[in-house]
Amino acid sequence: MGRVNRSFPIESILNTLEGEYPKWDVPVVTLIAMQSGDPFKVLISTIISLRTKDEVTIEASKRIYKLLTKPSDVYGVTIEQIEMAIYPCGFYKRKAIQIMDICDRLVREFNSVVPDTIDTLLDFPGIGRKTANLIVAEGHNLPALCVDVHVHRICNRLGYLSTKDPDDTEFTLRRSLDQAYWKKINYLMVAFGQSLCRPVSPHCSKCPLLDVCKRKGVDKHR
């Protein structure tokens, strides 16, 4: 089980990142949630976004929204049309099947409403903890902890957590971080990780957290 540095000022760090956030690109699913306010669009774009660049996700999302505005629209399109709409996102053929299956199940079992609980979403094929948490947080605006590689890496680099993988980070945050910060830790650290605290050679010389960061595991930096 992961460890928490209880004396680490995580809330003040997140407040600092929030002040810097307007300078950075908004993470793609957060942007789609802000623009649409539609859990179904958030779900579809979250699936497209896995292992896919943000700019590809945005364009693929625009194309598939023309085909699917609600789950039942899936009965009027072919798998090839969905594949063409989301191409060239990563694993587009597998994701097209997944999108069809999810839409069908939403219609048959959930009255076309996207569930708002992690456990229900985890029961859908291909939806893991990261995806389920992102749908609950961004699609339904409820407290949920989406831990991706950026959140996991930055929490450990800072010296706030000592965890072995993103799931360990999620469960450690669940017992240590105030719920008021659950949703925002994702979009703040994703934007920060894409701009300054990069996976390889982070921009430490420009970082507003340099004074408090332990830079654990950082061998090379700019």
- 204 binding ligand SF4? (CB under 6 A): yes
- Type and span of the H or E element at 174: helix 166-174
Q: Which of residues 5-64 bind ligand SF4 (CB under 6 A)?
A: none
Phi/psi at 27 (5° precision)? -55, 145
Residue 77 tokens, joined? 């399109």
Q: Mutual orientation of helices 39-49 and 92-110 as an angle, nearest 10°? A: 150
- 202 binding ligand SF4? (CB under 6 A): yes
38, with CB counted inside 10 A (0-12, 13-18, 19+), is: middle
Among 95, 129, 157, 183, binds ligand SF4 (CB under 6 A): 157
Stretch that binds ligand SF4, among 16-24, 117-125, 141-149, 200-208 (CB under 6 A): 200-208
- 77 binding ligand SF4? (CB under 6 A): no
Residue 192 tokens, joined? 């920060």
Stretch that binds ligand SF4, among 33-41, 77-85, 179-187, 210-218 (CB under 6 A): 210-218
Binding-site size for ligand SF4 (CB under 6 A) equals: 14
- Of 135, 157, 160, 156, which is closest to residue 145 (Cα–Cα)? 135
Q: Under a CB-based contact definition with an 8 Å cutoff, are residues 27 and 187 in contact?
A: yes
Among 11, 152, 196, 201, binds ligand SF4 (CB under 6 A): 196
Among 44, 68, 127, 213, binds ligand SF4 (CB under 6 A): 213
Residue 164 tokens, joined? 């072995």
Residue 59 tokens, joined? 């364009």
Stretch that binds ligand SF4, among 27-35, 109-117, 164-172, 213-221 (CB under 6 A): 213-221
Q: Under a CB-based contact definition with an 8 Å cutoff, are residues 28 and 58 in contact?
A: yes
Select 121 or 177, whichever has its Cβ closest to ligand SF4: 177
Q: Under a CB-based contact definition with an 8 Å cutoff, are residues 91 and 83 in contact?
A: no
- 185 binding ligand SF4? (CB under 6 A): no
Select 121 or 209, whichever has its Cβ closest to ligand SF4: 209
- 149 binding ligand SF4? (CB under 6 A): no
Q: Which residues bind ligand SF4 (CB under 6 A)?
A: 157-158, 196-197, 202-204, 207, 209-210, 213, 215, 218, 221
